[in-house]
Chain A
Amino acid sequence: MYFRHIEDESAASPATSPSPPELTRRQFLQLTSLAGSGLTLGILLPGCGSQPGAGSVAGPLTMPFLRVAPDNTVTVISKHLEAGQGVWTGLPAIVAEELDASWAQIRVESAPAEVPTYQNMAFVPMGVHAQLTGGSTAVANSWQQLREAGATARAMLVAAAAARWGVPATDITVSEGVVSHAGTGRKATLGELAGAAAKLPVPANVPLKNPTDFKIVGNEQLPRLDARAKSTGKQQFAIDVMLPEMMTAVVMRPPRFGARASSFDASKAKAVAGVVDVVQIPRGVAVVGRDMWSAKKGREALSVTWDESDAEKRGTTELMKEYRALGRGKEALTVKEVGEADAALAHAVKRVEGEFEFPYLAHATMEPLTAVCRLSPDKCEIWAGCQFQTGDQAAAAAAVGLKPEQVTINTLAAGGTFGRRATPDSDYISEVASIAKATGGKYPVRLIWTREDDITGGRYRPLNYHRITAGLGKDGKVAYGQRIVGQSILIGTPFESVLVKNGIDPTATGGSAAEQYDLDHARVSWTPPKVGVPVLWWRSVEHTHMAYSKEVMIDELAQAAGEDPVAFRLKLLGKHPRHAGALKLAAEKAGWDNPFPKEKGRGRGVAVHESFGSVVAQVAEVTVSGNKITVDRVVCAVDCGIAVTPDVVKAQMQSGIGYGLSAALYGKITLTDGHVDQTNFHQYQVLRINDMPRAVEVHIVPSRNPPSGVGEPGVPPIAPAVANAVRAATGTRLHTLPFDLAAARRAKA
C-alpha cells in the first residue's frame, strides 16, 4: 500500500489548518548546491526565515510558487498539469495580479512532485494529500494560495526598495512590474530588487487586493502564455523528450482485460532491425528498439501466450442486457431519498418514463500516453504529462524498488488528458518504470502507446443504464425516481476508503435531479455490477450521463405538462439561484422568448447543470435533415465565480461543448467476447471541424464568488440540450447514446 498520501479521514487535517510545510529533501539539496556555488538564494518557506546571502544583491527571489530573477522575469511555479485547460495562464494571472507584475515578464514552469507544498487543497478536506490535477479544481484550490504568494512576494520587494531608498514602504507603489517612490522619483524593476528581497524575512498575513482593483484577473484580452510555443511546434511534450542513448518501447498488452502473459517467444521480434530488448513486465511484454518504427515492427513480430482464465469475456451487448435486468430488479443502494417518491409517482397526473443507455467511452487524448524514464542505482527520473504526481512518484518507486523521494517527476505539458492521465494505479508510468527496471537502466527509455493501444486500452467512461420515472402531482409537485446501473470508478482503488461513503460512489451517482432541482419527492438508487473492463473518470465524470438523463426527463415532463422548458425549470430552481441565473442568461442571449422559426427539421433545446462548483446552461439550435443532426448554434452561460481568465473560460466552454458533442454524435466503445471492437479513429469516431457548430456564444455570469471549475462543466449540458432540440424538431426521443435517429425512429414506430 504505497498510497501514503491518502490517510484515513479520522487522521486528515482539516482544510483550515494544513500541516506545516517542511523543507523537503529536494529543496534542501537545491539550497545546499546553490549556496555552494556562491549564488545568493532564498528558499523562503513560512517558518524557514531568511537565508544568509553571499553579499551580492543580484540574485533571485525564490519562493514555492514563484521566482523573481535578476533578468526581471517572474516565473510562476505551477503545481498543476497544463493539458489544454489553461492553468499555465490562469495560475500565473493570480500571482501576477497580487504581485503587480507586467504580464510580459511572466513565465511558467511545472513544480516538482512535493506534498504538502504542492498538494491539491481541494482534496485535503477529504483526507487526500496528493499533488493532483482533476475535478476542475486547479484555479479554485490555488486562488487563495497564489494570491497570498503574489502579495507576500510583493511585500518583500517593496520592503527591499524601502530599505534601499530609505523611504517608508507605505509610500511605495508597484505597477506593471515597476516599483516606484513618487516623492524621490526613484524606480526599480522587480528583478533589480529580487536579490535584496530574498534576504528579508517572509511576512505573514499580507493583505490582499480588493477585487475591484484587479487588472489582470478578469482581463478579457490576456494572451495565453503557451499560445506561441503551441503555434510554432516548440512546445515540448513527453513524446518530444530526446535523451542521449534513449530507446523507445511499445508494450504488447493482453487481448482481453484481466488476462496475463504466461509465456512469450521473442526470437522473431529480436530479429527485427533496431530491436534491442524484449522484456516481460507486470502489464505485458515490452519491445524496446532504437526508434519507434523498430519497436513497433518488433511488436508485430512478437508472439505471446496469454492466460485468459481471469479475463473478462463478455461483450457489451450481454452487459447491457444484464444491466437492464439489474435496473428492473429490486437490489439497489439508495443514493438519495426525499419525501415519498413511490407514492407520489403512483398518484401523478402526468408521468413520463425513460430508459437510457450510455456506452463505454475512450478519452482519446491527441497525444497518446507517453512517458520517459531514466534509471540509475539510486535515482529514477520520469518525464511525462503527469496529472497525479504523487501517485506517479509512488508507482514508479514501487516498480523500480526505490523510495518515492528518489523519484524525480518532470511534469511536461500534456497533449490532452480529460482524466486519462490520472489513474489510481498510474498505469503507464508504472509501465515505463518497469521497462527501465527490466532493462537494468542500461539506457533511458521512452514508452509510447499507439493509438490502437489507447483506444483498446480500457479506462473508459463506464457503460451505464438509467431507468427514470418522473411525474407531476395534482398539487403541481414533481416526483422523480431514478435507477442507475453502472460500474464504480472508485471501489477497489486506494481512493475508496476516503471517498466512498455508505457504499455509494459519488463518481458514479452524483448530479441527479434530487440534488439539482427543488424536488419534494425523489428516490435515486444505484446498482454497481462487477465487470472486468477498467473504468475511469472521463471529462466531467458522472455528470456525462447523470446530466443527460436528468435534463432530458425534466424536458419531457415540461412537455407533458404543456409548459415552456425554461419556465418549467425555473419553477423548480427556487433554491438554486445560480442554476436559475445561468439558465436565464442563456435563454436571454439565445432569444428564447422570441418564437423559434417554424421550419421543417429545425428545433431548439435547453439544459442546465451544475458540476465542479460551476453551473452551465446551454441552448442548442439544430437542423435535422433525414437522420442527420446538425447543431447550428449553441448559446452557453456559465457561472464559475470570479472568471480569472475570461478568455480561457470561454475556450473551456467551447471545448466542453465540442467534447460533449463528440460523445453525443459518435462516441462508442463496444466489446465482443471481451475484445474491444474499435482500434483507431476510423472506428472510434470523434468530432471534426465540420460537425462543430458555426456559432458558439459564451456568456459569463458576473460573480464575486471565489472561482470554481471550468475544465469540465461545459461538457454535461450539451448532449441533453441537443437531444431536447431534436425532440422539438422531430418528436423523437433520444435515450440511447450516441444518437442514432434512425434507430430511435424505428423504436418509436
Chain B
Amino acid sequence: MPIKLIVNGQARELDVDPDMPLLWAIRDHLQLTGTKFGCGMALCGACTVHIDGQATRSCVTPVATAQGRQITTIEGLSTPAGHAVQQAWIALNVPQCGYCQSGQLMSAAALLASNPHPSDADIDSAMAGNICRCATYVRIRGAIHQAAETLSAGATA
C-alpha cells in the first residue's frame, strides 16, 4: 500500500516502510532537504515541520501517521507569520552555520501563529526544544520580537 501524503499542498505517494520517520520520507524520497536530521529522538528540533499547523518533530513521526494531514516544510512555509520570521531572520543576520534554522523558523512561525506577542519567557519556553550549537539564541529572540511587530503593524494597517 503506498503512503499518501499532502506536502506543501501537493498530494504525494510513496512506496516506503510505514514506520519510516516522516523526516526521511520527505528528505530521501521527496528530496525536500530543507528539513534537517539532528538527533533522531525529538531532542534537537532540527527536523521540525508543521502538521496541520502544529510544530512537529518529523524524526519521530512515522510516515504512516501523517497520511491525510497537511504537512508543511520550510520549502512551503507561506503563512504571514512564516514570512515575517524569515524576513526578520535575514534582517538580523540570525543564521551562522544555518543547519538548525529551518527547524527554528518552523517553531517560531508556529509560536507567532498562536501567540502574536510573545514575551522573552514565552519565546524561551516555545523555542527550548530547538538546539542551536552556534548559540544564535539572542538573535532568535530579537527576530521573533521583530516579526511580531511586523505582523501587528500589518494587522493594524
Residues of A within 8 A of B (CB): 82-86, 223-224, 226-237, 239-240, 242, 248, 273-274, 291-294, 297, 364-368, 413-418, 448, 450-452, 647-648, 651, 654-655, 657-659, 661-662, 680-682, 686-690, 692-694, 696
- Measured between beta carbons, the chain A residues less than 8 angstroms from B102 are 233
Q: Determine the distance from Cα of A291 to Cα of B123 in the docked complex, in whole angstroms.
A: 35
- Measured between beta carbons, the chain A residues less than 8 angstroms from B5 are none
Q: Determine the distance from Cα of A88 to Cα of B142 in the docked complex, in whole angstroms.
A: 23
Given known contacts A230-B95, A233-B75, what 10 new A-B pairs fall within 8 Å (CB)? Answer: A237-B36, A237-B99, A242-B33, A248-B28, A291-B28, A293-B28, A648-B93, A681-B44, A690-B128, A692-B138
Determine the residue in chain B with the shortest Cβ distance to A659. Answer: B135
- Measured between beta carbons, the chain B residues less than 8 angstroms from A418 are 133
Contact between B40 and A227 (Cβ–Cβ < 8 Å)?
no
Out of A239, A659, A681, name the residue touching B43 (CB < 8 Å).
A681
- Assuming the contacts A223-B93, A690-B128, asked whether A230 and B138 have C-beta atoms less than 8 A apart, the reply is no
Contact between A292 and B44 (Cβ–Cβ < 8 Å)?
no
Q: Determine the distance from Cα of A229 to Cα of B75 in the docked complex, in whole angstroms.
A: 11
B116 at interface by CB-CB < 8 Å: no
Minimal beta-carbon separation of B58 from chain A (angstroms): 12
Contact between A231 and B137 (Cβ–Cβ < 8 Å)?
no
Minimal beta-carbon separation of B95 from chain A (angstroms): 4
Determine the residue in chain B with the shortest Cβ distance to A698. Answer: B138
- Measured between beta carbons, the chain A residues less than 8 angstroms from B125 are 690
Out of B31, B41, B100, B128, name the residue touching A366 (CB < 8 Å).
B100
Contact between B28 and A367 (Cβ–Cβ < 8 Å)?
no
Contact between A696 and B73 (Cβ–Cβ < 8 Å)?
no
Contact between A655 and B33 (Cβ–Cβ < 8 Å)?
no
Contact between A366 and B46 (Cβ–Cβ < 8 Å)?
yes
Contact between B138 and A696 (Cβ–Cβ < 8 Å)?
yes
Name the 9 nearest CB pairs between A and B, nearest first: A658-B135, A233-B34, A415-B99, A230-B98, A84-B97, A84-B96, A233-B74, A230-B95, A692-B137
Contact between B28 and A689 (Cβ–Cβ < 8 Å)?
no
Centre residue among A226, A235, A647, A688 by max chain B CB count within 10 A: A688
Minimal beta-carbon separation of A731 from chain B (angstroms): 29
B117 at interface by CB-CB < 8 Å: no
Minimal beta-carbon separation of B116 from chain A (angstroms): 19
Out of A297, A416, A689, name the residue touching B128 (CB < 8 Å).
A689
- Measured between beta carbons, the chain B residues less than 8 angstroms from A696 are 138
Contact between B31 and A224 (Cβ–Cβ < 8 Å)?
no
Interface residues of B in 101-136 (CB under 8 A from A): 101-102, 105, 120, 123-125, 127-136
Contact between B133 and A416 (Cβ–Cβ < 8 Å)?
yes
- Measured between beta carbons, the chain B residues less than 8 angstroms from A451 are 38-41, 44
- Measured between beta carbons, the chain A residues less than 8 angstroms from B90 are 223, 227-228, 231
Contact between A686 and B38 (Cβ–Cβ < 8 Å)?
no
- Measured between beta carbons, the chain B residues less than 8 angstroms from A242 are 31, 33
Q: Determine the distance from Cα of A452 to Cα of B96 in the docked complex, in whole angstroms.
A: 24
Interface string of B1-41 (1 = CB under 8 A from A): 00000000000000011001100100111010111111111
Q: Determine the distance from Cα of A532 to Cα of B20 in the docked complex, in whole angstroms.
A: 37
Contact between A86 and B75 (Cβ–Cβ < 8 Å)?
no
Contact between A231 and B33 (Cβ–Cβ < 8 Å)?
no
Contact between A231 and B101 (Cβ–Cβ < 8 Å)?
yes
